[in-house]
Amino acid sequence: MHPETRLPEPRPVGPRIWEIPKSFRPDMRVPARVFASEELLQQIRRDRSLEQLINVATLPGLAAPVMGMPDMHEGYGFPVGGVAATRYPDGVISPGGIGFDINCGVRLLASSLRREEVEPYVHPLLHELSRSVPTGYGRSSRDLAFSGKKLDRLLEEGVALLVRQHGIGWEADLPYIESRGTIPGARAAEVSDRAKQRGGDQLGTLGGGNHFLEIQYVETIYDRRLANAFGITEEGQITVLIHTGSRGLGHQVCTDYVRRMDSAMHQYGIRVPDRQLACAPLDSREGRAYFAAMCAAANFAFCNRLVIAHRVRLAFEHILGKQFGDRAGDLRTVYDVAHNIAKLERYGDEVLCVHRKGATRAFGPSAEELPDRYRGFGQPVFIPGSMGTRSYVLAGRDESRELSLSSTCHGAGRAMSRAAAKKQVHGGELRRELAERGIVVQGASNQELAEEAPQAYKDVDRVVDVVHEAGIATKVARLRPIAVMKG
């Protein structure tokens, strides 16, 4: 703990908004704000995430208060659920503000099939998905690998290359992926050979930890106008939620540049209260190189989710095609959005580098980047719950620009560590409990199930209520799983 840090008492400054003023600690450059209910704030105070958010408020070049979302919990340097914006090009960029799983994110697919049509086939469908989508740490794709110039092109061109030259995914997917699945500024030359070796054969894989693929149904629609705009048309409709990122490639990019920036900070006169906040000016050699490598890793993650979505469609066709014909594989992309990334975005007269770590972009109805279909409605936002609980679809609001730098939460947020969860939960019992509730789980050991148990996470309903009540995003629909494939 920083010698001058003690757990502060944040003061309320708005609906569900709490603030620690920059006068709290002499090295703070901006205030630290937290979006939370009183109950969630007390949960946040149990780990080091509030101290970490205060540390983030000391970084050079910050242009706005640093922010913690209601799912905030302790992370590497930055808290997970943290948002920080630095001025471009004079402010810094910090790999810890994006995290090791660059562009970990979510994609939602919507089907015209209904729950009662799919439930009789859940077991063979989940089996087919497990054959098609490898899960677990270090797992490789069985039939898809990129290397050399082919991988370099993928890192720089993103999903358009897969769709147009490899026949993977649909052209119609592209407008419904953040930045159309290709973030400009990516340079494969800034990605190390080690990173490329780790990730080149991992496209179409889930990974481990909290990554998952869920078959869900629409349980509740809160706003039918917004739901219809997103293609969520009725209760009982089947959806598929994919949650994964850039795999070993992104992890290695973060590892490489944390070390590089830690060694370079003294050249720029930068001192940070935690070495995990290693950073460099955006216009420095290290800053430019990291940003280019991060964009490349983000493009890889968009490609990973595209490949998984493609395989989900094929699996649905294979298992359900005889019964439902063309409807079986007709799974439309609602949206694909990152929640571990830094993006250059314009706010007023300034271009800011917005770090979102465990936080989701939530552009409002007037945002120019939205696809035509969502103009006037807002960007779809997906908030997965813990395993076996609900997930949410929200819509970004224009008010979020001022309130939260167009950002919202990304999930329920951990309430206990993985080690603590394993001590309190028996994975086998949890598997049986989920089965009794009509949720089939596949692809995880009992130990891994225990780590991701619902009681290890905050209550997603309360987390989502905070961002809805604060005016950041609007609740659109609630989804409930019937099958879970774990990483």
Q: What is the pLDDT of residues 222-234, one digit of tens each?
A: 999 999 999 999 9
Are 54 and 20 in contact, with CB atoms under 8 Å apart?
yes
What token pair was written down for 312?
A: 């989900």
With bands split at pLDDT 50, 70 and 90, how would you rate the model's confidence at 8? confident
With bands split at pLDDT 50, 70 and 90, how would you rate the model's confidence at 175? very high
Q: How far apart are CA 344 and CA 291, in angstroms?
A: 10
User: What pLDDT, on a 0 to 100 scale, did the predictor assign at position 431?
Assistant: 82
Backbone angles phi, psi at 355, to 5 degrees: -85, 125
With bands split at pLDDT 50, 70 and 90, how would you rate the model's confidence at 443? low
Q: Which residues pair with 459 in a beta bridge?
A: none
Q: How far apart are CA 84 and CA 97, in angstroms?
A: 8
Q: How far apart are CA 318 and CA 315, in angstroms?
A: 5
Q: Which range (30-34, 101-105, 482-486) has the least confidence?
A: 482-486
Does the pLDDT at position 194 exceed 90?
yes
Residue % of the chain over a pLDDT of 70: 98
Q: How far apart are CA 469 and CA 3, in angstroms?
A: 36
Residues 6+ apart with CB under 8 A from 327: 111, 112, 113, 320
What token pair was written down for 195?
A: 């990173």
Does the pLDDT at position 181 exceed 60?
yes
Mean of pLDDT over the chain: 94
Instruction: Identify the burial level of 278 via C-beta atoms within 10 angstroms of its C-beta, where 0-12 means exposed, 13-18 middle and 19 or more buried.
Output: buried
Q: How far apart are CA 354 and CA 468, in angstroms?
A: 22
Does the pLDDT at position 324 exceed 70?
yes
Q: Which residue has the tokens 């969502």?
A: 374
Positions of E strands within 198-306:
212-221, 237-244, 280-281
Interval 430-437 mean pLDDT: 83
Are 133 and 308 in contact, with CB atoms under 8 Å apart?
yes
Does the pLDDT at position 1 exceed 70?
no
Q: Which range (25-34, 230-239, 427-436) has the least confidence?
A: 427-436
Are 339 and 356 in contact, with CB atoms under 8 Å apart?
yes
Residues 6+ apart with CB under 8 A from 102: 245, 246, 250, 253, 254, 294, 297, 298, 301, 340, 341
User: What pLDDT, on a 0 to 100 scale, did the predictor assign at position 204?
Assistant: 95
Of the two residues 4 and 212, the one the predictor is more confident about is 212
Are 440 and 484 in contact, with CB atoms under 8 Å apart?
yes
User: What pLDDT, on a 0 to 100 scale, did the predictor assign at position 428?
Assistant: 82
Q: How far apart are CA 447 and CA 118, in angstroms?
A: 29
User: What pLDDT, on a 0 to 100 scale, did the predictor assign at position 421?
Assistant: 80
pTM of the model: 0.95
Does the pLDDT at position 14 exceed 70?
yes
Segment 281-321, tens digit of pLDDT: 999 999 999 999 999 999 999 999 999 999 999 999 999 99
Does the pLDDT at position 442 exceed 90?
no
Segment 333-358, tens digit of pLDDT: 999 999 999 999 999 999 999 999 99
410 is catalytic: yes
User: What pLDDT, on a 0 to 100 scale, did the predictor assign at position 3?
Assistant: 47
Nearest to 332 by CA among 419, 230, 446: 230
User: What pLDDT, on a 0 to 100 scale, did the predictor assign at position 30?
Assistant: 98
CA angle 159, 125, 452 (to 5 degrees): 75
Q: Which of 166, 410, 426, 468 is catalytic?
A: 410
Residues 6+ apart with CB under 8 A from 448: 208, 427, 486
Host H or E run for residue 308? helix 285-324
Segment 391-418, tens digit of pLDDT: 999 999 999 999 999 999 999 988 888 7
Segment 58-112, tens digit of pLDDT: 999 999 999 999 999 999 999 999 999 999 999 999 999 999 999 999 999 999 9
Strands 17-20, 32-35: pairing is: antiparallel
Does the pLDDT at position 138 exceed 80?
no
Position 93: which residue type? I
User: What pLDDT, on a 0 to 100 scale, did the predictor assign at position 430?
Assistant: 82
Nearest to 242 by CA among 297, 305, 180, 303: 305
Does the pLDDT at position 444 exceed 90?
no
User: What pLDDT, on a 0 to 100 scale, did the predictor assign at position 35?
Assistant: 98
Does the pLDDT at position 2 exceed 60?
no
Q: Which CATH number fits domain 11-415+457-486: 3.90.420.10, 3.90.1860.10, 3.30.365.10, 3.20.20.70?
A: 3.90.1860.10
Q: How far apart are CA 112 and CA 103, in angstroms?
A: 29
Instruction: Identify the burial level of 405 via C-beta atoms within 10 angstroms of its C-beta, where 0-12 means exposed, 13-18 middle and 19 or more buried.
Output: buried
Does the pLDDT at position 455 exceed 90?
no
Position 401: which residue type? R
Tell me if the bond preceding 89 is cis, omega within 30° of 0.
yes
